[in-house]
Amino acid sequence: MQRNIISIIKIVFSILFFVASFLYFSIYIDPTVIYYKQQPLFLFDYQFIIKYLSFPGGFSTCLSLFTSQFLFSKWAGAVVITIFFYVISVISLSLFKRFFSEKTSFFLQFIPVILLIHLHSNYEYDFRGGYIYLFSILACLAYLKLPKISLSIKVLFLIVINIILFALFGGTALLLFSLLVILSELYFRNTRYFWVIMLLQPIIIISILFISINTSAYINFNMALWGILHPETHYKPLKLLYVFIFFLPLFLLVKVVFKKYLKTSYLYNQYKSNLPGKRNYFSLLLFIVLLFATEIFAFKFSYKQEDKKFIQIHQFADDHNWKMVLKLGKELPYHDRRVLFQVNRALCHQNQLLDKAFSYVQFCGDHGLLLTKHYNRQVLMLISDLYFDMGHIKESLHWAYEAQTIYDYSPEVIKRIIINNIILGEYTIANKFLIILSKSPVHKSWTGKCKKYFKDESLITNDPLIAEKRRLLPIEDFHTSTKNPQNDLKKLFIENVNNKMAFEYFIAYALLTHDLSSLAVYFDYFEKLNYTLLPVHVEEAIILFITLNNNYPLNLGKYSISELTQKRFIEYSKILMKYKHNSKIAEMELHRYFHDTFWFYIHYISPITTKREIQVKNLK
């Protein structure tokens, strides 16, 4: 009866534990955000799969990609993650049971899951670590389940299993499996061949490492030995991943030490003799509460709302949900140029760039508007996005190809390459990438639509997006510039007067770089682009320009500076004069009333004024 109640409690707790995990991942973490960040693509294609089998550990990447593709859906993703956690706990339980009592094992099985909750709460973390852990334990269980057989068969088994583990799951799996085997041998010591196995396992590892390093071009010593734990130029394993991989051997080590030294000690025997004879539910419930509290703590501790928002701002931008981009833009730190980039993009799409840009702290100046000057792997697709928006398609394609060097099978990158090539009329190239993407069931509907386009070219010409981008395509060739992107913008709107976005970005760039002369030179384009009124920030810039350049009359044509802007400028000047042009003292008051103006930006925010240098790592 008591046993039944305990079993029911355990089952109920397990259900609650995994349901909580499911809810946490579906509601808080949101698998679609993980999917967006990681852009996994698994192709049901022989060549694609075989590629991952060509190097040690590749199979774990392949499995991880396969699993990650389900994260494209919020609910399906949460279910997959929860099932994955459940399998991990069940397999862990099987191993713990070999070393610990049933009750202790029951609780210990949740530890790897709690660690995984934290790991998977990081949007960059994939399933490789989990699979390595899983298959290393399975290999260890298989080893422990071997009947008492001859040494030669046992040795053969060890050699084969080590090679398979290394080939499929890499050095991390080999390391974990070896530690588990050695600790198991130390713990059980139930074979006559104890010392043979103890010596053999390290020899096998050394041999595998030696052979692989000297015969395979894919891995060096560190990669062979440490697998995914080895940091690389652009890959830093999470610290908790080390804990996740090594906690199990550590627990077993404690158990081995305990068995060997403490179990016979006086203190332990004293403690054991003082334990109450009758077991009660109290300790069980206490542990359950503790475990549940740990899970809740793991949720709380692991969930990084800011990280999520930072990915979501790009996700919303991709979905053209500009209102949400602007909302997140207010919540996220303004010193990140990628946030400002998306905010400026959203403002432009909402026709507010030249009216409201300075409502946001333009901390990065022009580096928050155009990213090419300091390009790195984090901004490649953002550059491509912006140039796509303004119909600078060859340049958008160029940056998509650059992104592809790093994220070779990213669906986002592949889709951009397809669309850009369709716009450029390069259907053969577009079709090449379409064939690849169509091998993924997740993207079937998108590729299906594109395939129809190839069958009926009139669908391409009638597609409003493609038609719009084709209208904006530059006709005259020019050399693009990463260092002076404003030159590209200039050429885009001079050649194609309908390219309002390029013009607004050019003017915004001029404002952000204090280049008021460019504003003056290209002022007539406001009329060419049919602006009924001058945008607020342009008014603010012009009034300042006129004040500073009395000898250079600016013909405003049909436009005039609104009374409100004139009045505000007088007030701004008065405050400055009140503090005798001491801008430091005037800052607080100016901020209160004029923080959203061009004047405040050039006085206090602009990196040109503050001589703040943009810091970008890893230009490669």
Query: Under the criterion CB under 8 A, does residue 213 sit at the interface with other proteins?
Result: yes
Angle between helices 151-188 and 74-99 (to 10 degrees): 90
The piece of 129-137, 270-278, 431-439, 558-566 that touches other proteins (CB under 8 A) is 431-439
Q: How far is CA 564 from CA 479, 530, 570, in A?
A: 42, 22, 10
Q: Which amino acid is at 82?
A: T
- Least distance in angstroms from the C-beta of 476 to other proteins: 6
Nearer to other proteins by Cβ, of 30 and 385: the residue is: 385
In this structure, what token pair is assigned to residue 101? 């009592």
Query: Under the criterion CB under 8 A, does residue 380 sit at the interface with other proteins?
Result: yes
Nearer to other proteins by Cβ, of 429 and 561: the residue is: 429
Please give the helix or strand (H or E) that residue 301 lies within, else none: helix 281-302
Query: Under the criterion CB under 8 A, does residue 439 sit at the interface with other proteins?
Result: yes
Of 302, 404, 420, 565, the one binding other proteins by CB under 8 A: 404
Query: Under the criterion CB under 8 A, does residue 220 sit at the interface with other proteins?
Result: yes
Taking the C-alpha atoms of residue 183 and residue 176, their distance in angstroms, rounded to an integer, is 11
Taking the C-alpha atoms of residue 302 and residue 81, their distance in angstroms, rounded to an integer, is 15
Of 2, 101, 150, 215, the one binding other proteins by CB under 8 A: 215
Contact string 236-265 vs other proteins (x = CB under 8 A): ------------------------------
- Least distance in angstroms from the C-beta of 370 to other proteins: 15
Of 97, 103, 377, 595, the one binding other proteins by CB under 8 A: 377
Nearer to other proteins by Cβ, of 78 and 430: the residue is: 430
- Least distance in angstroms from the C-beta of 184 to other proteins: 33
Angle between helices 194-215 and 151-188 (to 10 degrees): 110
As to burial, measured by CB atoms within 10 angstroms (0-12 exposed, 13-18 middle, 19+ buried), residue 579 is middle
Query: Under the criterion CB under 8 A, does residue 463 sit at the interface with other proteins?
Result: no
- Least distance in angstroms from the C-beta of 126 to other proteins: 17
Which of these, 51, 123, 65, 26, lies nearest to 441 by C-alpha position? 65
Site size toward other proteins (CB under 8 A) is 51
Of 337, 392, 537, 603, the one binding other proteins by CB under 8 A: 392
- Least distance in angstroms from the C-beta of 429 to other proteins: 5
Query: Under the criterion CB under 8 A, does residue 497 sit at the interface with other proteins?
Result: no
Nearer to other proteins by Cβ, of 455 and 558: the residue is: 455
- Least distance in angstroms from the C-beta of 406 to other proteins: 5
Taking the C-alpha atoms of residue 6 and residue 279, their distance in angstroms, rounded to an integer, is 11
In this structure, what token pair is assigned to residue 548? 């500073």
Q: Which of the 8 DSSP states describes residue 99?
A: H
Instruction: Give the contacts of 152 (CB within 8 A, at least 6 positions apart).
Output: none
CA angle 43/45/49 to nearest 5° reads: 80
Nearer to other proteins by Cβ, of 179 and 386: the residue is: 386
- Least distance in angstroms from the C-beta of 215 to other proteins: 7
Query: Under the criterion CB under 8 A, does residue 479 sit at the interface with other proteins?
Result: yes
Query: Under the criterion CB under 8 A, does residue 428 sit at the interface with other proteins?
Result: yes
Query: Under the criterion CB under 8 A, does residue 351 sit at the interface with other proteins?
Result: no
Query: Under the criterion CB under 8 A, does residue 375 sit at the interface with other proteins?
Result: yes
Q: Which of the 8 DSSP states describes residue 614?
A: P
82 within 8 A of 26, measured Cβ to Cβ = no
Q: Which amino acid is at 425?
A: G
223 within 8 A of 237, measured Cβ to Cβ = no
Of 1, 46, 150, 611, the one binding other proteins by CB under 8 A: 46
- Least distance in angstroms from the C-beta of 495 to other proteins: 9
Query: Under the criterion CB under 8 A, does residue 402 sit at the interface with other proteins?
Result: yes
583 within 8 A of 576, measured Cβ to Cβ = yes
Taking the C-alpha atoms of residue 506 and residue 75, their distance in angstroms, rounded to an integer, is 43
Of 196, 406, 442, 556, the one binding other proteins by CB under 8 A: 406
Query: Under the criterion CB under 8 A, does residue 429 sit at the interface with other proteins?
Result: yes
The piece of 142-150, 210-218, 585-593, 598-606 that touches other proteins (CB under 8 A) is 210-218
In this structure, what token pair is assigned to residue 93? 């339980």
- Least distance in angstroms from the C-beta of 55 to other proteins: 9
Give me the helices (H) in 39-191, please: 46-52, 58-68, 74-99, 102-108, 110-120, 128-144, 151-188
Taking the C-alpha atoms of residue 247 and residue 172, their distance in angstroms, rounded to an integer, is 13
> Would you tell me which residues interact with other proteins (CB under 8 A)?
43, 45-48, 213-220, 223, 232-234, 375, 377, 380, 392, 394-395, 397-398, 401-402, 404-406, 408-409, 426, 428-429, 431-432, 435-436, 439, 473-480, 488, 491, 620
